[in-house]
Structure 1
Amino acid sequence: MTETRRITSFDGVELAVHSMGEGRKVLLLHGLFSSAEMNWIRFGHAQQLADAGFEVIMPDLRAHGASDAPHDASFYPEDVLVRDVETLVEKLDLADYDLVGFSLGARTAARCVVQGLSPRKLVLTGMGLEGLAGWDRRAAFFIDAIDRFDEVRRGDPAFFAVQFMKTMKVDRVAVRQLLGTVDDTTAEDLAALTMPTLVLCGDKDRDNGSPEKLAEILPDAQLAYVPGTHMSSVAERAMGEELVRFLSA
């Protein structure tokens, strides 16, 4: 059974934090426009981890899911998602834990470690080397999708992003501001990621660059694939199986 609580972040924004299971703590960060429910619960990954003896902690990121989505620009400083995660780690007293992120969650997880968090193990899912250091280009694509939201038709490169925003009932004003807060993580920054790290990617997913190059440059990384594209890989049971395999070793 999933339990949900609300935790106040550093600036008063309330974050919905979902959890299940008992045991070693693992913090899961979902992707852009998504939620803990969509990325981790719906397709069984959280339950697989709980069954394997983990306590799974899954925040809805700021401006996503059931968390607050303020419109005022003051709530979107640089690296705000990192500051939210740092607050959760402190308030939940996570001294010995693992950290997993998918897509935007992977960027956030990497930034968290660069900024000083020290999980036992790290998993970067749906991410390649170029994606970590090329956020401006990626953000510009999504900002354009938001700005042309009502004009986008099938065949447009932004079509699937717009459809997903509609499915998730995204607050476009809030998320548009959030897109401007993410800092790049350079190849030099990645030297800080010294813990055992799994680079996990769909075998047809190159949305965020090369997972192979990312695994090669990290100090202590292994590379694994699950079937699918960026969008479909997160629905594969194999993703939960790989998380359990790596985190249980």
Structure 2
Amino acid sequence: MNLNAPAFTSFVHDGVNLCYFDEGDPSGDPVLLIHGFASSALVNWVHPGWLKTLGDAGYRVIAMDNRGHGGSDKPLDAEAYRPWVMAGDLVALLDHLRIPQAHLFGYSMGARISVFAALAHPERIRSLVLGGLGIGMTDGVGDWDPIADALLAPEVEAITHERGKMFRAFADQTKSDKEALAACIRGSRDLVARSDMGRIDAPTLIGVGTKDDIAGSAQELADLMPDARALDIPNRDHMLAVGDRVFKKAVLEFYAELASR
């Protein structure tokens, strides 16, 4: 298995071509990884070492480039990025791979998409790991319109919004389609009602960096759910928490505990 560049393939759902990789042990428990905004399966899961970590632990590791990202198609209509639409892509991938149930692990926007998938198709979800998004899932994470504006700004120097500047730099670094990302950020911000979080009974681990100024409290979100726990990822911000070794260790322990239930 080439951990630097896993083999991607694709399938079509709802007229959108979606790229994914399927690595690790084919007989292992499947873990479906859902990356964050302006990222990709490679940037979010391969480069920070998650494919190696989970693959070495015996899991079947699957990750998709969300629509608008990586090698997948990039619609320019914000409505194409509603979280329940993107959650439908995940379930369609499980159908395509004939996987009846999987562990879902989403980071940031991917955590939101995972929750929408768990609400619509609870029977397909073995567990949830939600990274980089705490109570912001229900209460919002601030005004993201300036981020869409920053993505579309002709001159980087003209961007004054700090978070917008950060995401524009990230989008440039990942060579992303900035017009598609602007549509995505405008369409993908639907909140989840607190009462709906309480309906999700899949075992859940919520990991947020202690320096993350976007996610909101992991513990507050966990408190809304019947079988959830919070993890503080020490001294990590929103961008750096994803690959943290404390996070990796906690996820592996969480999965090992589920296997013994």
Report 1:49-198 matches (<5 A). 49-71=54-76, 75-76=80-81, 79-118=84-123, 119-134=125-140, 137-148=142-153, 150-152=155-157, 156-157=161-162, 158-182=164-188, 183-198=190-205
Counterpart selection for 1:4 from 1, 8, 33: 8
Partner amino acid for 1:121? Answer: S
Alignment of structure 1 residues 204-223 onto 2, 5 Å: 204-223=211-230
1:19 aligns with 2:22: yes
Tell me, yes or no, if the aligned pair for 1:226 and 1:239 is still in contact at 8 Å: yes
Q: How much has 1:151 moved relative to structure 2? A: 4.2
Gaps of 5+ in 2: none
**CA drift at 1:149:** 5.3
Deviation, 1:166, is: 0.5
Are the structure 2 counterparts of residues 179 and 88 from structure 1 closer, same or farther at C-alpha, using a change threshold of 3 Å?
A: same
Aligned-partner Cα distance in 1 for 2:77–2:102? 33
- 1:39-69 Cα offsets, whole Å, 9 max, x none, are 1111111211111110010001001011111
Q: CA 1:95–1:205 in 2, change beyond 3 Å: closer, same or farther?
A: same
Distance 1:73 1:125 in 2: 24
Check whether the contact 1:132–1:208 (CA below 8 A) recurs between aligned residues. Answer: no
Contact persistence 2:146–2:161 (CA under 8 A):
no
The one-letter amino acid of 2:220's match is: K
Matched position secondary structure for 2:126? coil
Question: Displacement of 1:226 after TM fit?
Answer: 2.2
Mapping of residues 234-245 of structure 1, within 5 Å: 234-245=242-253
TM-score, length basis structure 2: 0.87
Q: What's the offset of the Cα at 1:131?
A: 3.5
The whole-number CA distance in structure 1 between the counterparts of 2:16 and 2:40 is 17
Post-superposition offset of 1:75: 4.5
Please state how far the C-alpha of 1:30 moved relative to its aligned partner: 0.4
Instruction: Output the CA distance in 1 between the equivalents of 2:201 and 2:144.
Output: 28
Superposition deviation, residue 178 in structure 1: 2.1
How high is the TM-score relative to the length of structure 1? 0.91
Bigger relative contact order (CA 8 A; separation at least 6): 1
What is the CA-CA distance between 1:212 and the residue it aligns to?
Answer: 1.6
Change (3 A) 1:77 1:185: closer
Farther off after superposition, 146-155 or 41-50: 146-155
Query: Any idea what SS the aligned residue of 1:7 has?
Result: strand
1:76: how far off? Answer: 4.7
- State the SS of the aligned residue for 1:123: strand
Further displaced range: 152-161 or 105-114: 152-161
Alignment of 1:28 onto 2:36: no
1:6 and 1:110 map into 2 onto residues whose CA distance is 24
Aligned-partner residue type, residue 239 of structure 2: M
